[in-house]
Amino acid sequence: MQRKTSVVVEILRYGAIFLVLGFFVFPIFWMVLTSFKPEEAIMVSPPRFFFTPTTENYVHALHDKNFLFYIKNTLIISVISTAIVVAFGSLAAYSFARYNVGDGHILFFILSTKMMPAIAVILPYFLIFRDVGKTAVGKSLHLGLDQHGALIVSYVMFNLPFAIWLLVSFFQDIPRSLEHSARLDGLSRIQVLRRVTFPLAAPGIAVTAVFTLIFCWNEFLFAYILTRKAASTVTVGVESFFTLQGILWGPVAAAATISVAPMLIFVLVMQRYMVRGLTFGAVRG
Amino acid sequence: MYSLVDVHKRYGLRTVALRKLNLDIRPGEFFVLYGPAGAGKSTILNLLAGLTRPTSGDVRRDGASITHLPPERRNAAMAFENYALYSHLTVAENLAFPLRAAGVRPAEIEVRVKSVAGVLGIPHVLDRRPGFLSGGQRQRVALGRAIIRPADIYLLDEPIGHLDAKLRHRMRAELKALAVDMKATIVFTTTSSKEALALGDRIGILNAGRLEQAGTAAELYDRPANTFVASFVGDPPMSFLNVSVRPAEGGPALVTGDGQSIGKAPSGALGRGGLKAGVRSTALTLVDPGTPGALAGQVEVVEHLGHSSIAVVLSGTDHIQVLLPADARLRPGERVGLRVDPTRLHIFADETALATDAA
CA distance A151 to B356: 81
Interchain proximity B131–A200, CB inside 8 Å: no
How many angstroms separate the first and last alpha carbons of chain B? Answer: 36
Q: At what angle do helices A105-112 and A148-172 cross, to 10 degrees?
A: 140
Which positions ≥6 away from A3 have C-beta within 8 Å? none
pLDDT at B292: 82
Checking if the pLDDT of B355 tops 80, the result is: no
For residue B71, give the nearest of A175, A184, A284 by CB distance: A184
* pLDDT bucket at A3, cuts 50 / 70 / 90: low
Range of weakest confidence among A152-166, A266-280, B148-162, B259-273? A266-280
Tens of pLDDT, residues B197-240: 889 999 999 999 999 999 999 999 888 888 888 888 877 888 99
Which positions ≥6 away from B228 have C-beta within 8 Å? B205, B207, B212, B353
CA distance B146 to B78: 5
Tens of pLDDT, residues A123-142: 999 999 999 999 999 899 99
Tens of pLDDT, residues A20-60: 999 999 999 999 999 999 988 888 888 888 888 899 999 99
| Ranges of H-type helices in A142-193 | 148-172, 176-184, 189-192
Interchain proximity A180–B80, CB inside 8 Å: yes
Helix (H, G, I), strand (E, B) or coil at A56: helix
Interchain proximity B98–A186, CB inside 8 Å: yes
How do beta strands B275-279 and B284-287 pair? unpaired
Q: How close A283 gets to chain B, by Cα (Å)? A: 6
Helix (H, G, I), strand (E, B) or coil at A25: helix
Q: How close B353 gets to chain A, by Cα (Å)? A: 37
One-letter amino acid for residue A13 of the chain? R
Rg (CA), chain B: 24
CA distance A68 to A234: 9
Q: How close B329 gets to chain A, by Cα (Å)? A: 46
Interchain proximity A200–B84, CB inside 8 Å: no
Q: What is the pTM of this model?
A: 0.77
The string of DSSP letters for B95-142 reads HHHHHHHTT--HHHHHHHHHHHHHHHT-GGGTTS-GGGS-HHHHHHHH
Residues in A 199-258 with any Cβ partner in B closer than 8 A: 199-200, 202
Is B244 within 8 Å of B275 (Cβ atoms)? yes
Tens of pLDDT, residues B110-126: 999 999 999 888 999 99
Q: Which chain A residues are closer than 8 Å to B145 by Cβ?
A: 181
Checking if the pLDDT of B343 tops 90, the result is: no
Is B307 within 8 Å of B348 (Cβ atoms)? no
Alpha carbon B27 to its chain centroid, in Å, reads 20
* pLDDT average, residue stretch B326-337: 85
Query: Which residue ranges form the domains of chain A, and what is each CATH number?
Result: 66-240 (1.10.3720.10)
Rg (CA), chain A: 24
Query: Which residue ranges form the domains of chain B, and what is each CATH number?
Result: 2-232 (3.40.50.300), 239-355 (2.40.50.140)
Peptide bond into B98 cis (omega under 30): no
Probe site for chain A from B48, B81, B87 (most A CB atoms < 10 A): B87
Helix (H, G, I), strand (E, B) or coil at B8: strand
Q: How close B179 gets to chain A, by Cα (Å)? A: 20
Tens of pLDDT, residues A201-221: 888 898 899 999 999 999 999
Q: At what angle do helices A198-218 and A67-99 cross, to 10 degrees?
A: 140
Ramachandran area for residue B263 (φ above 0: left; ψ -120 to 50: alpha; else beta): left
CA distance A252 to A247: 8
CA distance A106 to A96: 9
Question: For residue A191, what is the nearest residue in chain B, using CA coordinates?
Answer: B101
What totals of helices (H) and strands (E) does chain A contain, helices first? 14, 2
Checking if the pLDDT of A282 tops 80, the result is: no
Tens of pLDDT, residues B22-50: 999 999 999 999 998 889 999 999 999 99
How many contacts does A have with B, using Cβ atoms within 8 A? 71
